[in-house]
Amino acid sequence: MTTDQSAPMRIAHRGMPRREPENTIPGFALALASGAQGIELDVHATRDDVIVVHHDEDLADGRSIRRAALADLRPNPPAAHDLPTLAEVLDAVDGKAELFVEIKGAGIEQLVARLLEGYAGAAAIHSFDHAMIGRLAASGCKQRLGLLVETDVPDAAALLRFHGARDLWPRHSVVTERMVREAQAIGARVIPWTVNDASDARRLASLGVDGICTDDVAALAAALREA
């Protein structure tokens, strides 16, 4: 991803879930090998406050991440596709792409922020929980902060300023030229999600978004070359 509004639009990958399970180290490795300029992932915390990378609050077998210790959630040593910790993902990505961390677990923002403080690569935090992003901004969090939205917002700049955020993550279908213009006017980036259709990618490119989040890097890269 890029903060330079004059730079070409970049693509953030969600771990290539069509070829490897999402939120796994093999998935992120495949995305990097495919030319990922950003890696987007989801985080929760275990009972013993280990930040782990997983989309839902429960595992596929129904076990609650927050109610169990890490040692109870995966074998030792873990297999390649077992629940990775954020620390393990940081080691795997190692600055090769910007890391976009979506906080899904409630009340875990300071655990995530402290972990990212020691990371040398580029990293940003975003969430649907706008109040939590505001708390991070007020605490002096050094990571770039972002807001996820599912509907149009009447004033993107005002929303971002109010919560101390510098990235706007809208559902791709609600992105408008006005939204992009308002966000970029205050130096914010607009990164729509999740874009897997070539025509959607070309529309967003024409609006001047700063990046897109996708499951299919090859198809989207080809679409953007044609735009």
For range 201-221, the mean pLDDT? 86
- Write the class of the CATH domain 10-226: alpha beta
Q: CA–CA separation, 192 vs 212, rounded Å?
A: 5
Segment 74-90, tens digit of pLDDT? 999 998 889 999 999 99
pLDDT tens track for 96-151: 999 999 999 999 999 999 999 999 999 999 999 999 999 999 999 999 999 999 99
For the stretch 107-112, contacts whose Cβ atoms lie closer than 8 Å and that sit 24 or more positions apart, written own/partner, are 108/43, 108/44, 108/45, 108/49, 108/51, 109/135, 109/136, 109/141, 110/136, 110/139, 111/45, 111/49, 111/51, 112/43, 112/51, 112/86
pLDDT value at 14 more than 80: no
**Angstrom distance (rounded) from CA 210 to CA 110:** 27
Q: Reply yes or no on whether the pLDDT at 45 is more than 60.
A: yes
pTM: 0.91
Tell me what the pLDDT averaged over the chain comes to.
90
Task: Check residues 51 and 76 and name the one with the higher pLDDT.
Answer: 51
Task: Examine the pLDDT at 220 and tell me if it is beyond 70.
Answer: yes
DSSP annotation string for 77-133: SPPTTS--BHHHHHHHHTTSSEEEEEE-STT-HHHHHHHHHT--S-EEEEES-HHHH
Give the residue ranges of DSSP H helices in 139-197: 156-163, 177-185
114's CB contacts (< 8 A; 6+ apart) are none
pLDDT at 35 (0 to 100): 78
Instruction: Map out the domains of the chain as residue ranges.
Output: 10-226
Cβ burial, residue 152 (10 Å; 0-12/13-18/19+): middle
226, pLDDT greater than 80: no
For range 157-173, the mean pLDDT: 98
Average pLDDT rounded to a whole number, residues 57-85:
95
Question: What confidence score (pLDDT) does residue 8 get?
Answer: 53
Mean pLDDT for the stretch of residues 211-227: 76
Q: Which tokens in the block code for residue 2? A: 């890029």
CB atoms inside a 10 Å sphere around CB 64: 14
What pLDDT sits at residue 17?
A: 58
